[in-house]
């Protein structure tokens, strides 16, 4: 999930006023700069809360905040591009959306966000407003896991080795965030929800958690953290956690910093994160209209600029071969409308490969 619209505007302003390029710890001449292609989604298809990019086994890509069938914000999940036909059927109401979140029998109006397809065709979708993850099959949902103490969940990642095991991020966007309190990390082993010790997050200075992804070998979990101080975003980092591979459980130890955005980039929120099969990590820079590609060693390799997108909020590899990187986010011209873009990569996405 992104954050308050006012903050987005503030961040965009901040990123333009500080034009000095930051090198991180790497020479800028090794960073490839490329450009994505706008998909020109019909403006009535998705709202500005477009998020939860997910791929199925065919390489079709989906997102939340489908609006064309009349659903309210973050209530419907549909495809935004198909492997056969691209965006041509997006507004075909016989085909889209493929899921509407029911407002009946839940404490709060659903706010669906992160999503992932499982190999058996089920879709797991986080409901950030009801502390639960839904399991969707044939447009009907059941609760996959829930715990009243869950902060959101926001986005989710699948274990590479263990079926029915997922990891969840979640944040509480306050003016000043407190480490270990305004960001959380949960694991669901099937319906059993377990919280990663907040004290360890506090020790590592983990604040608002958002992007979440497993490495293709299944040994690591990447989790983003953003810090707010008096209404300003002051730090954006990616942490790496160790996974006990035989069980998929996160090891109770302080995570290490995998990458830290510095200078003006520190104020730009990390949102969605996805890995390719080689372990490169692709990270959306929400508010700055770009994605960065980091090597498994945490080297900045590439910047993918996304013209037309103010977000981007999330991303996923799809297409027939699983090598096309799709991004979704609010449009730059009008943040109430959902935009999407693509970039032809050279490596297959981890999520796509796991579904084959
Ligand atoms: C970036 O690298 C260039 C060339 O090495 C250097 O001149 C510049 O000071 C660096 N900028 C920052 C912000 O580190
Ligand atoms: C979602 O809701 C819309 C509007 O009520 C309806 O047209 C569509 O058939 C529903 N789709 C599914 C998959 O439930
Ligand atoms: C989340 O739930 C609260 C409490 O019911 C409600 O006021 C709010 O509108 C909900 N948020 C969304 C985005 O639906
Ligand atoms: C978010 O943090 C504020 C300030 O600490 C607190 O009052 C509020 O209850 C928190 N919300 C949730 C959902 O935890
Ligand atoms: C927050 O940002 C505003 C606007 O850039 C600035 O005036 C203010 O000093 C900052 N506050 C802190 C605590 O850094
Ligand atoms: C943005 O899009 C919305 C929804 O289509 C529309 O109502 C609004 O007028 C647009 N705003 C601007 C500034 O174009």
Residue having the nearest C-alpha atom to atom 3 of ligand 3: 108
Residues with CB under 6 A from ligand 4: 151, 172, 174
Tokens coding 232: 């300003």
Find the DSSP H helices in 102-205.
198-204
Residues with CB under 6 A from ligand 6: 43, 334, 336-337
Tokens coding 183: 């960001």
Residue having the nearest C-alpha atom to atom 13 of ligand 1: 22
pLDDT at 15: 36
For residue 203, what are the CA distances in angstroms to 101, 181, 255, 302? 37, 11, 9, 31
pLDDT at 30: 82
pLDDT at 1: 52
Q: What digits encode the pLDDT tens for the residues 294-321?
A: 999 999 999 999 999 988 999 999 999 9
Give which of 38, 118, 39, 115 is closest to 76, Cα–Cα: 115
CB atoms within 10 A of CB 91: 16
* Strands 256-261 and 99-100, bridge-based pairing: unpaired
pLDDT at 4: 42
Residue having the nearest C-alpha atom to atom 14 of ligand 5: 232
Rounded distance, CA 312 to CA 295, Å?
20
* Strands 46-55 and 61-66, bridge-based pairing: antiparallel
Q: At 185, which helix (H) or strand (E)? A: strand 183-189
Residue having the nearest C-alpha atom to atom 9 of ligand 3: 109
Chain length of the chain: 356
Distance 128 CA to ligand 4 centre (A): 14
pLDDT at 193: 98
Q: Is 21 left (phi over 0), alpha (psi -120 to 50) or beta?
A: beta
Locus of tokens 């037309």: 308
Cα distance between the two ends of the chain: 28
Q: Report whether the peptide linkage leading into residue 153 is cis, meaning its omega lies within 30 degrees of zero.
A: yes
The domain covering 5-355 belongs, at the CATH homologous superfamily level, to TolB, C-terminal domain (2.120.10.30)
Residue having the nearest C-alpha atom to atom 13 of ligand 5: 230
Distance 145 CA to ligand 5 centre (A): 40
Rounded distance, CA 89 to CA 225, Å?
37
Tokens coding 298: 């945490």
Give which of 264, 217, 268 is closest to 238, Cα–Cα: 268
pLDDT at 311: 86
DSSP 75-102: -EEEEEEBTTTBTTTTT-TTTS-SEE--
Ligand 2 site, residue 70, Cβ cutoff 6 A: yes
Each of the 356 residues of the chain gets a pLDDT tens digit; together they read 554 443 433 333 333 333 334 445 445 568 999 999 999 999 999 999 999 999 999 999 999 999 999 999 999 999 999 999 999 999 999 999 999 999 888 999 999 999 999 999 999 999 999 999 999 999 999 999 999 999 999 999 999 999 999 999 999 999 999 999 999 999 999 999 999 999 999 999 999 999 999 999 999 999 999 999 999 999 999 999 999 999 999 999 999 999 999 999 999 999 999 999 999 999 999 999 999 999 999 999 999 999 999 889 999 999 999 999 999 999 999 999 999 999 999 999 999 999 99
Distance 26 CA to ligand 1 centre (A): 9
Per-chain mean pLDDT for the chain: 93
Find the DSSP H helices in 162-314.
198-204
Ligand 2 site, residue 97, Cβ cutoff 6 A: yes
Q: Is 218 left (phi over 0), alpha (psi -120 to 50) or beta?
A: left
Tokens coding 10: 């503030």
* Strands 99-100 and 112-117, bridge-based pairing: unpaired
Contact 226, 253 (CB under 8 A): no
């Amino acid at each position: 999930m992104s954050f308050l619209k006012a903050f987005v505007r503030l961040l965009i302003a901040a990123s333009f006023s500080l034009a000095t390029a930051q090198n991180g710890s790497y020479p800028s001449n090794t960073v490839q700069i490329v450009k994505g292609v706008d998909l020109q989604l019909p403006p009535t298809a998705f709202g500005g809360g477009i998020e939860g990019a997910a791929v199925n086994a065919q390489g079709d890509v989906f997102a939340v905040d489908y609006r064309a069938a009349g659903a309210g914000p973050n209530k419907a999940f549909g495809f935004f591009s198909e492997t056969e036909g691209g965006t041509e059927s997006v507004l075909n109401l016989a085909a889209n959306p493929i899921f509407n979140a029911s407002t009946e029998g839940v404490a709060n109006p659903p706010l669906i966000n992160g999503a992932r397809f499982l190999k058996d065709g089920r879709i797991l979708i986080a409901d950030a407003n009801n502390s639960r993850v839904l399991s969707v099959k044939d447009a009907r949902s059941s609760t996959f896991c829930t715990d009243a103490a869950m902060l959101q969940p926001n986005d989710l990642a699948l274990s590479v080795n263990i079926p029915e095991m997922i990891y969840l991020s979640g944040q509480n966007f306050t003016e000043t965030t407190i480490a270990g309190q305004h960001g959380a990390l949960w694991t669901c082993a099937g319906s059993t929800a377990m919280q990663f010790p907040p004290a360890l997050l506090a020790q590592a200075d983990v604040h608002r958690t958002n992007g979440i992804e497993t490495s293709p070998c299944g040994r690591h979990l990447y989790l983003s953290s953003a810090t707010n101080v008096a209404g300003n975003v002051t730090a954006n980092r990616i942490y790496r956690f160790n996974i006990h591979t035989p069980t998929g459980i996160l090891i109770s130890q302080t995570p290490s910093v995998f990458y830290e955005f510095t200078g003006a980039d520190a104020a730009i929120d990390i949102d969605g994160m996805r890995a390719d099969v080689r372990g490169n990590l692709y990270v959306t820079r929400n508010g700055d209209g770009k994605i960065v590609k980091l090597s498994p060693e945490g080297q900045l390799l590439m910047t993918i600029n996304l013209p037309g997108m103010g977000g981007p909020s999330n991303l996923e590899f799809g297409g027939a071969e699983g090598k096309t990187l799709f991004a979704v986010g609010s449009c730059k011209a009008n943040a109430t409308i959902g935009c999407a873009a693509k970039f032809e990569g050279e490596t297959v996405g981890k999520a796509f490969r796991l579904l084959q």
